[in-house]
Structure formats: structure tokens, C-alpha cells
Amino acid sequence: MRIYLTVKDFGGGPKAFALFTLRSERHHIFGKIEAFIDTGSPDTTLGLKDIKSLHIPTRSLPPEAVSYVGGSTTRLRSLGNVTLYFKGEENEPVKINLQKIYVAEPLEHDEKTLSIFSTIPSMIGTDFLLINNFSFFFNPSKRIAYLEKEEQL
């Protein structure tokens, strides 16, 4: 099974992005997300733009860790169990349940930090790839990218 990704110029070069719908029944959240595939990040994290557009109540979520995102110190809060819906290679729906997805908020709330932080997209980290047994293929010169999972027999 494959999930094709979009290759866009971002941060100085081509990057792979996934488009999916996120659903959290517990928090009554449903909306589209475009996330950068970041193999350098251990955690799948929603960016500030998506947090605001989905009206996620960050202060009510439990803080779990402090991390660095885009050069800024951030607090990671867990949104908990969510379902992600992707389109497969034949446009079939691909449903993936995640036990945890983080929302990132900057520890500093000065204008400069918020300005930088608002440009950082949501990210799919290596946790997502490992938990769901996906391989990530990326050929920037041909602008081809996809996630692939071998079928279980």
C-alpha cells in the first residue's frame, strides 16, 4: 500500500508533505492537515497554524515534554488518541489510529518567537513511520515521494 505525498519547495529546498484529515472524538476536532515528513523529528507534531485553524484547546491538554522545534524551545502537549485519514494510491481511504499526537507551543510568547513559530508546519515524525511500519521514499530531483507499507499476509 502506498500513500503518495506532495513535493513542495520549503525551507530552502524540496520537501515531502502529506495531506490528511485529523479526527479526535474526545476533543471534537475534525479538519485537514498538511504535514512535512520530518525524519529528523522523533515526534509527530501539529504546528501553530493548524492548532489555531482547528481551534485546539492547548491549555487543557496535559504537558508531556519540552523539545526544540525550528530553533525555539517548545512545550509538547498530547492530544491523545486520534485518527488520521489519508488517500491511498487508488484514492481509497487509508485510516490510521495514533495513540498520541503532540501540539507544540512556544515557551516564549514574544513577537519574534511567535512570528518564527507560526511558519513551522505540522510534522510527521519517525514515531509515525515506526509505529505504522511505513517506509519513506523521496526522490527530490524527480519530485516523487510516498509512504509505503508492505501488505501483511
pLDDT > 60? residue 125: yes
| Most distant CA atoms of the chain, gap in Å | 53
All domains in the chain, ordered by first residue:
2-148 (2.40.70.10)
What pLDDT is stored for residue 152 in this prediction? 65
What pLDDT is stored for residue 108 in this prediction? 76
Measured torsion, CA atoms of residues 128, 39, 9, 144, in degrees rounded to the nearest 10 = -70
pTM: 0.87
Condensed to tens digits (0 to 9), the pLDDT of residues 12-29 reads 999 999 999 999 998 899
Nearest alpha carbon to residue 80 among 103, 107, 59: 103
pLDDT > 60? residue 153: no
Condensed to tens digits (0 to 9), the pLDDT of residues 28-76 reads 999 999 999 999 889 999 998 999 999 998 888 888 888 777 666 788 8
Mean pLDDT of 1-5: 95
What's the 3-state SS for 20-52?
EEEEECCCCEEEEEEEEECCCCCCCEECHHHHH
Q: What is the mean pLDDT of the chain?
A: 89
Share of the chain above pLDDT 70, in %: 97
